[in-house]
């Protein structure tokens, strides 16, 4: 089957091996994560799973879970870690944006072009209804930047020695930045 550029659908995304998102009708493949990237994601997920168990509210999701959204130019997200409030079908992508999304930077995600791309993706998250996005930079700056929908261009930055949070998306959940570097 030959598919024209810009005409891919969510049905097509289900058939894609590996991690991908649907943006502007195009399947955007994502490269495998480095060891540090994967371990940071797992540590955040582990903490969120404990939060889920403690609060009995919402659901933590790990890497490569599709979230279907309805934006003019974006049809899905696949964050490194996410927290979702609402119902979902185990056999399908999650319908809607997560309340909290985590994007762990890869080594190539630095410099002005990468910053613009990451900012555009955060804008899409907020337009879809996400309340908080963590930009986890354990490679260059070793910080977590917490972006909120209410003030997306004014992140709170947490460094080693600090404890980061995800208010207002997740009440009473925190994580020490140093825990991502163990």
Q: Tell me the per-residue pLDDT of 149-168, one tens digit each, with 9 for 90 and over.
A: 999 999 999 999 999 999 99
Question: Is 2 part of a structural domain of the chain?
Answer: no
Question: Is 22 part of a structural domain of the chain?
Answer: no
Q: What is the pLDDT of residue 139?
A: 82
Question: Is 68 part of a structural domain of the chain?
Answer: no
Question: Is 9 part of a structural domain of the chain?
Answer: no
Sign of the CA dihedral running 45, 47, 49, 51: negative
- State the average pLDDT over residues 93-118: 91
CATH of the domain at 171: 3.90.1570.10
Q: What is the pLDDT of residue 6?
A: 76
Question: Is 11 part of a structural domain of the chain?
Answer: no
Q: Does the structure show a pLDDT above 50 at 1?
A: no
Boundaries of domain holding 41: 33-62+79-86+96-181
- Domains held by the chain: number: 1
* Contact (Cβ atoms closer than 8 angstroms) between residue 81 and residue 63: yes
Quote the pTM value: 0.93
Q: Does the structure show a pLDDT above 60 at 4?
A: no
Phi-psi region of 154 (alpha: psi -120 to 50; beta: other; left: phi over 0): beta
At residue 49, φ and ψ (nearest 5 deg) are -65, -40
Cis peptide before 168 (omega within 30 of 0): yes
Question: Is 121 part of a structural domain of the chain?
Answer: yes
Q: Does the structure show a pLDDT above 90 at 181?
A: no
Q: Does the structure show a pLDDT above 90 at 109?
A: no
Question: Is 21 part of a structural domain of the chain?
Answer: no
Question: Is 102 part of a structural domain of the chain?
Answer: yes
């Amino acid at each position: 089957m030959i598919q024209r550029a810009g005409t891919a659908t969510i049905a097509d995304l289900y058939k894609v091996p590996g991690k991908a998102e649907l943006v502007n009708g195009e399947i955007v493949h994502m490269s495998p994560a480095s060891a540090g990237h994967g371990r940071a994601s797992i540590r955040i997920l582990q903490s969120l799973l404990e939060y889920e168990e403690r609060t009995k509210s919402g659901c933590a999701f790990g890497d490569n879970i599709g979230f279907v959204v309805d934006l003019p130019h974006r049809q899905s997200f696949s964050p490194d870690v996410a927290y979702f409030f609402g119902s979902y079908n185990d056999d399908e992508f999650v319908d809607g944006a997560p309340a909290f999304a985590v994007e762990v930077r890869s080594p190539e995600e630095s410099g002005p072009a990468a910053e613009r791309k990451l900012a555009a993706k955060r804008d899409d998250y907020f337009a879809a209804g996400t309340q908080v996005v963590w930009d986890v930079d354990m490679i260059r700056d070793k910080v977590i930047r917490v972006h909120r929908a209410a003030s997306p261009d004014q992140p709170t930055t947490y460094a080693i020695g600090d404890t980061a949070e995800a208010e207002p998306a997740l009440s009473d959940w925190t994580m020490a930045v140093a825990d991502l570097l163990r």
